[in-house]
């Protein structure tokens, strides 16, 4: 059974609310796709604190799936393939970045597009306050 891929941005939210949303959607792996896994304004989202909170259920993929243009195509595709292996194993994963609005984040315009093109799988973007799926609400079908 194939898993699912969600995405969420923590901007304007907090770690407790994000954790509740992850639990609500039964997300097993939080995939941190920030190039720099540190936050000056949202300290609970610094790499060390995320590792402490989620343990092995938090993976940092910023080197391969971050938003830097200098990430090579080979490295980016490798990161995407690695995550797809987890999805094929039935894992429910969530790509996380700072930007709350997927329309402004590489989670949508880069990563979701790639998952769609390479594997015909749809990334479901989550609202960081309600936990609702945003795709239908804001017409995020156009990758």
Question: Residue 47 maps to which CATH number?
Answer: 3.90.190.10
Within-domain flag for 134: no
Instruction: Specify the number of domains making up the chain.
Output: 1
**pTM of the model as a whole:** 0.92
Dist. CA 50–CA 32, nearest whole Å: 9
Within-domain flag for 42: yes
Q: What is the 3-state secondary structure (H, E, C) of 24-69?
A: HCCCCEEEECCCCCCCCCCHHHCHHHHHHHHHHHEEECHHHHCCCC
Q: How is residue 7 annotated by DSSP?
A: E
Per-residue pLDDT of the chain (143 residues; tens, 9 = 90+): 578 999 999 999 999 999 999 999 999 999 999 999 999 999 999 999 999 999 999 999 999 999 888 788 999 999 999 999 999 999 999 999 999 999 899 999 899 999 999 999 999 999 999 999 987 544 445 54
Within-domain flag for 133: no
Q: Give the 3-state secondary structure of residue 14.
A: coil
Within-domain flag for 74: yes
| Structural domain that includes position 93 | 4-125
């Amino acid at each position: 059974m194939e898993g699912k891929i969600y995405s969420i941005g923590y901007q304007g939210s907090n770690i407790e609310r994000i954790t509740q949303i992850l639990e609500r959607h039964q997300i097993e792996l939080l995939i941190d796709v920030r190039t720099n896994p540190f936050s000056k304004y949202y300290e609970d989202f610094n790499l060390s604190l995320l590792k402490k909170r989620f343990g092995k259920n938090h993976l940092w993929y910023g080197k391969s799936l971050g938003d830097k243009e200098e990430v090579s195509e080979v490295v980016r595709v490798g990161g995407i393939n690695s995550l797809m292996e987890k999805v094929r194993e039935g894992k429910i994963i969530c790509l996380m970045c700072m930007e709350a609005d997927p329309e402004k984040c590489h989670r949508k315009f880069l990563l979701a597009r790639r998952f769609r093109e390479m594997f015909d799988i749809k990334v479901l973007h989550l609202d960081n306050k309600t936990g609702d799926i945003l795709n239908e609400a804001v017409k995020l079908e156009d990758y």
